[in-house]
Amino acid sequence: MSRAAACGCLSAEVSVRIVRYSIGGVCHYGELEAGDARIARFEGDPFTGIRPTGDIDEVGEVRILPPLERPRIFGFAYNYASHIDETDRDVPEVPVVFMKPSTAMAGPGDAIVYPADGELIHFEGELVVVIGKEARHVKPSEAHEYILGYTCGNDVSDRIIQRKESKFGALLIGKGQDTFAPMGPVIATDLDSSRLSLTTRVNGTVKQSASTADLLLAVPGIVSYLSRHLTLLPGDAIMTGTPSGVGPIRPGDEVEVEIEGIGVLRNRVVAEGR
């Protein structure tokens, strides 16, 4: 059962795409309906309880926001064999986990800011897990009970700083600058995360094409591993890793991350203003 269903607004069999948006300066959650033109507004939030209000908002009249408000962001590195191969590294003995600051979050349509002193900034298309309720010592077979849903993510990385930090076991600045964690456009509930197609395009050209079936540590194992060592909280976001094909972006580029059952996360790259 999804967390949305557990909140009492939906049946366990219903899969919805939850969108966070603002209209008239007020933030709401709602369900993005088929055709992506209308949003059925909810009362409340998906972590404490949501119920349909009966109001319908037109997508063209709202601003789509990041699906989460300043979440804790966990990232899994080297979780696809193909990406390990292209980085010429060994398969890790244990999962390699890092964190991005909540301020790295950006939403669909928001700009990815290319740092003024940036030299080599890369995109990384990823499936993102959204935690729906507090989780500790969760078995892989139980992980689905703690997952609200899934969204698209882009683990933007400054490779020059990342490589320098990595020599000393750190990844903060290389991974965590403002706008380096775009996510969206929706949180899709009740998806089977075991075999979703993932495609990343830059300026319309396909750069990554993979399936989540190729994850070395699949979603249930990811949730179990993290919850074994720390408490996961409602609204936490877990970036599950990127497949091969990562590469550079520059100001003026448009990056699209598309995941089956979720949609397309689209962001333009802009130069930092000083």
**pLDDT tens digits, one per residue of 165-201:** 999 999 999 999 999 999 999 999 999 999 999 999 9
Burial profile 29-60: b = 16 or more Cβ within 10 angstroms, e = fewer: bbbbeeeeebbbbbeebbbeebeeeeeebebe
**pLDDT tens digits, one per residue of 54-84:** 999 999 999 999 999 999 999 999 999 888 8
The answer to whether 100 touches 226, Cβ cutoff 8 Å, is no
* pLDDT for the residue 6: 42
What is the rounded CA–CA span in Å between residue 7 and residue 184? 22
Those residues whose C-beta lies under 8 Å from the C-beta of residue 26, and which sit 6 or more positions away, are: none
User: Is the pLDDT at 204 greater than 60, yes or no?
Assistant: yes
| Residue 165: both structure tokens together | 């930090």
Q: What is the pTM of this model?
A: 0.94
Q: Measuring CA to CA, which residue among 62, 195, 179 is closest to residue 110?
A: 179
* pLDDT for the residue 120: 98
Average pLDDT of the chain?
Answer: 94
Q: Measuring CA to CA, which residue among 179, 154, 145 is closest to residue 258?
A: 154
* pLDDT for the residue 2: 46
CA dihedral of 71, 76, 82, 88, whole degrees rounded to 10: 120
Average pLDDT score over residue span 250-270: 98
User: Is the pLDDT at 268 greater than 70, yes or no?
Assistant: yes
